[in-house]
Amino acid sequence: MGLSTSSFFLSSYLSKTINSNKHSETQLNFALAHNNLTALRFAWKNSTFHSEAWLSLSKKLAKKEGEVAYLLADYYHEQPKLAIFWYKNAIRLNYVKASITLAEYYYQQGQLTKAKGILAAMPTKFAENLNVAANMVKINIAIDQGNVPVIKHITASGQLQKTPAGQLLLADIKKYQLLPSIEPLIDTKPLTASCANSIQLFATNLKHLKQLEHLILAFQQQVLSKTVCFMPVRYLPINALGCSFELDQAIRCDELSWQKWANSINARYLGVMLPKGGANVHFGIMYFDAQDSVDVFAHEISHLLGFIDEYPLAADHVKCQASQKTPFSHNISILKKNYQGEKKHIRNKVLQQITWAKYIKNTTPILQLAKSLNGKEYWQVGTPQAYENEVGLFTAQTCDLSDNAAQKSFSAFKPVSKRTKLQYFALDFPQLYLSLLQDNAKQYLMPSFHYNIALAYFQQTSLQQKSVQQSAFQKENIEQANYWFKQAASWEQEVNRREKVRQGKFD
């Protein structure tokens, strides 16, 4: 039949003809050329998914069809600007699923405020399966923000039980103890049998909790894996500790807050994974971020066990202010650089200050004869480079930044000449260091995390102004500090260490 563009009923006629599938190819092409919605929809449904034809038709339909705009946004998922544009277009067309997906998209990008805004603007009534999906995004946002009341409210509503995905989320909530009132799905016993140095790891969102589990598995390939054990990982609200964390700064937290959790923690040490920040160990607590590798993780754990960094520490680090009085770590000794007197006597004196003395051969020198500017002879501490493959006394970079080290003529020394994991994370942990750890398994351990709580109480006391009004608070803080020192001391088996920890004299 002939076609007349002047006909008022032409568009309606073509739509009816195409809907009944009685159209000719000529009719369809004419309708497509004039952007007839029925024709566009027909051609779109019959095009190959994600083909050029599909994409071209989708862009035309998406201005009117919410579902098509949603699918187009999904097509551009890896191109955020285009994806967001089409999700918003689908939302404008009242396609509710797009609101949930865009909120999830923002959540995955870490834009929690935008995600919450999208959810807040959603209609009040829609399909139950979409309601569950929306609640899942809400609860994930609440988890990331540490909003425990919202987690509790949505969990109590029973919504999560209505879909398989919701049931999996509820299982994670129980597994990682997001709500202490809900009985966990897993036993709270250690994940390995040997548990002298037990560690409880925490993370602040579900993604990082699962990442911790993979990190623990990867750590099993590290040589230190036999020296520690892990409790099942647990959730910690990100706002619970008042942490400050920047990419170029060591993570710092208000450790007084740990007293709220202490009774539920059956471990000597704590480890906290945060979204960003510099990894470090502060007495019984290890901080690191989600970007840290298993090598960084192992490096930090070595500090809990009594190993010291072999790269330069901060200039004001307590260990780099003077030569040591007694040994304090497995791998580093802070010693005077120069001595005068009888060589054998000095050698014996120096050997008493290092934990690896028994591994140094009698034939390996640790002192070298030198002369001062005025010609006076003295003994300089250090093993010559000719003995680089032996165990000896080799200069470490540990105190290189300390002004006191330069002015007072002391330096840090290590047992081996080569660089180790204590200097560069990706390097090996020497077999000698494992032997040193076995020799003194408990001597140089960090005290338990309870020690951190005690110190936080003392620091709070020192910050308070001295007045009659404040004296009562100071007294209470000191009492609390002594209580937590006592808790830390209960983890010590050696009498001298126990007393040192109880008195707050561990440094």
Q: Check if the beta carbon of residue 178 is closer than 8 Å to that of residue 153.
A: no
φ/ψ of 443, rounded to 5, equals -65, -40
Domain final residue, candidates 304, 333, 352: 304
The whole-angstrom separation of Cα 414 and Cα 431 is 14
> If you count them, how many residues does the chain have?
507
Please state the domain count of the chain: 4
What is the CB neighbour count within 10 angstroms for residue 129?
Answer: 13
Residues 47 and 147 in one domain: yes
- Asked if the structure places residue 328 within a domain, the reply is yes
What's the number of CA atoms in the CB half-sphere (13 Å) around residue 481? 18
Residue 485 belongs to domain spanning: 450-502
Helix 10-19 vs helix 37-45: crossing angle, to nearest 10: 30
Residues 299 and 322 in one domain: no
- pLDDT of 189 reads 59
The whole-angstrom separation of Cα 504 and Cα 507 is 9
- Asked if the structure places residue 440 within a domain, the reply is no
φ/ψ of 367, rounded to 5, equals -130, 140
Residues 166 and 209 in one domain: no
**Token digits for 52?**
């050029």
- pLDDT of 186 reads 55
Please report, for the domain that includes residue 219, its CATH number.
3.40.50
Residues 277 and 386 in one domain: no
- pLDDT of 159 reads 86
Residues 166 and 251 in one domain: no
| Nearest C-alpha neighbor of 415 from the set 401, 435, 399, 444 | 435
Domain final residue, candidates 304, 334, 362: 304
Secondary structure of 375-394 in HEC code, one letter for each residue: CCEEEEECCCHHHCCCCCCE
pLDDT category at 232 given cuts 50, 70, 90 is: very high
φ/ψ of 202, rounded to 5, equals -125, 150
Q: Check if the beta carbon of residue 202 is closer than 8 Å to that of residue 192.
A: no
Say whether pLDDT at 59 is over 80. yes
Residues 156 and 32 in one domain: yes
Within 8 A by CB and 6+ apart from 93, the residues are: 64, 65, 66, 69
Could you tell me how far CA 446 lies from the centroid of its own chain?
Answer: 21
- pLDDT of 182 reads 67
Residues 93 and 210 in one domain: no
Within 8 A by CB and 6+ apart from 270, the residues are: 199, 200, 201, 202, 258, 284, 285, 286, 449
- Asked if the structure places residue 342 within a domain, the reply is yes
Euclidean distance between the first and the last CA atom of the chain, given in angstroms as a whole number: 97
- Asked if the structure places residue 444 within a domain, the reply is no
pLDDT category at 126 given cuts 50, 70, 90 is: confident
**Token digits for 394?**
């080799």
- Asked if the structure places residue 77 within a domain, the reply is yes
Helix 148-156 vs helix 164-175: crossing angle, to nearest 10: 130
- pLDDT of 459 reads 83
The whole-angstrom separation of Cα 376 and Cα 182 is 75
- Asked if the structure places residue 3 within a domain, the reply is no
| Nearest C-alpha neighbor of 12 from the set 40, 33, 37 | 37
Say whether pLDDT at 104 is over 90. yes
Residues 326 and 294 in one domain: no
Geometric angle at alpha carbon 285, from 284 and 289, rounded to 5°:
155
Within 188-251, strands assigned E span 198-203, 229-230, 234-235
**414 burial level (CB within 10 Å; 0-12, 13-18, 19+):** buried
- Asked if the structure places residue 345 within a domain, the reply is yes
Residues 42 and 164 in one domain: yes
- pLDDT of 464 reads 58
- pLDDT of 17 reads 64
| Nearest C-alpha neighbor of 14 from the set 6, 32, 169 | 32
State percent of the chain over pLDDT 90: 70
Chain segment 472-501, per-residue pLDDT in tens: 668 888 899 999 999 999 999 999 999 999
Residues 490 and 393 in one domain: no
The whole-angstrom separation of Cα 14 and Cα 11 is 5
The whole-angstrom separation of Cα 199 and Cα 284 is 9
Chain segment 438-462, per-residue pLDDT in tens: 999 999 999 999 999 999 998 887 6
Higher pLDDT, 78 or 405: 78
Tell me the pLDDT of the chain averaged across its residues: 89
Residues 147 and 29 in one domain: yes
Residues 352 and 279 in one domain: no
pLDDT category at 8 given cuts 50, 70, 90 is: very low
State percent of the chain over pLDDT 70: 88
Distances (CA, A) of 441 to 191, 193, 437, 492: 21, 17, 5, 12
Domain final residue, candidates 419, 441, 468: 419
Secondary structure (3-state) at 37:
helix
The whole-angstrom separation of Cα 452 and Cα 329 is 19
- Asked if the structure places residue 180 within a domain, the reply is no
Chain segment 419-429, per-residue pLDDT in tens: 999 999 999 99
> Per-residue pLDDT averaged across 184-195, rounded?
56
> What letter would DSSP give residue 201?
E
The whole-angstrom separation of Cα 81 and Cα 352 is 66
